Amino acid sequence: MNISARLVKELRKKTGAGMMDCKNALVHTEGDLEKAVDYLRKRGIQAASTKLSRKALNGTIASYIHLNGRVGVLLEINCETDFVAKTQEFTELAKNITLQIAAANPLYIDREDVPLEVLQKEKEIYRSQLENSNKPKNVIENIVEGRLNKYFQETCLLEQEYIRNPELTVKQLVLETIAKLKENIQVKRFVRYQLGE
């Protein structure tokens, strides 16, 4: 059976499971999305989302220096046990996230971290851009929400497209690693330095 990339992407978005796991689940369930979700749950692949509430008090501080010392990143990323913190998968995830921060320059970890005054200012700017558009108020609000979501995708680390695979967000990358390692992983904080800023 031929499974479309769109269907795989939709299942991936729903479950946070890996691309191949999603494709296999859809093949197994003959393209039925709801049955594929159940299939993944039974196999434990979707278990990553259930681990998100567990405390992550171990981990590492990862660093990355780029462009002849012109850009540097420090990242605190946490997991539940010291054992997992020393695995190759966890180390690789930390490295990939520091590269993401260096390249994409996010301002926040997630949309919940964006200060209220910044959100209000962004909404005000978007509304003023549409002031003379003669569009109904509800249409303007939908456009503002759409632009705000785009703002989150550009400025929030976990919502950014992953630079090494734009089919994934950074959050999906983290969820895939959670599913592999069977532990909660949290990006705690980061700082990005650029020479001259």
| CATH number (domain holding residue 39) | 1.10.8.10
User: Smallest Cα–Cα separation from 36: which of 19, 53, 23?
Assistant: 23
In this structure, what CATH number is given to the domain that contains residue 141?
A: 1.10.286.20
Q: Does 15 share its domain with 70? A: no
| Pairing state between β 161-162 and 71-79 | unpaired
Q: Does 161 share its domain with 86? A: yes
Q: Does 102 share its domain with 177? A: yes
- What is the DSSP code string of 82-129? HHHHTSHHHHHHHHHHHHHHHHH--SBSSGGGS-HHHHHHHHHHHHHH
Q: What is the mean pLDDT of residues 56-60?
A: 86
Q: For the chain, what is the domain count?
A: 3
Orientation of helix 170-181 relative to helix 88-104, angle to 10° = 170
Question: Which domain does 36 fall in, by range?
Answer: 5-43
Distances (CA, A) of 52 to 14, 26, 100, 128: 15, 25, 22, 39
Q: Does 10 share its domain with 96? A: no
Residue 13: which pLDDT band, with cuts at 50, 70 and 90?
A: confident
Q: Does 105 share its domain with 66? A: yes
pTM of the entire predicted model: 0.71
Has residue 47 got a pLDDT over 90? no
Average pLDDT, the chain: 87
Residue 82: half-sphere exposure toward Cβ, Cα within 13 Å = 0
In this structure, what CATH number is given to the domain that contains residue 188?
A: 3.30.479.20
- Backbone CA torsion sign across 64, 188, 115, 152: positive
What's the per-residue H, E or C state across 7-22? HHHHHHHHHCCCHHHH
Q: Does 89 share its domain with 59? A: yes
Q: What is the pLDDT of residue 11?
A: 82
pLDDT digits (tens, 9 = 90+) for 173-196: 999 999 889 889 999 999 999 988
Residue 44: half-sphere exposure toward Cβ, Cα within 13 Å = 6
d(CA 50, CA 7): 23
d(CA 53, CA 126): 35
Q: Does 90 share its domain with 149? A: no
Q: What is the pLDDT of residue 131?
A: 80
Q: Does 28 share its domain with 120? A: no
Q: What is the mean pLDDT of residues 115-134?
A: 87
Q: Does 87 share its domain with 178? A: yes
Q: Does 38 share its domain with 125? A: no
Q: Does 9 share its domain with 96? A: no
Q: Does 103 share its domain with 177? A: yes
Q: Other C-beta atoms within 10 Å of 125: how many?
A: 12
Residue 49 DSSP class: G
- What is the DSSP code string of 61-81? EEEEEETTTTEEEEEEEEES-
Q: What is the pLDDT of residue 46?
A: 52
d(CA 175, CA 76): 17
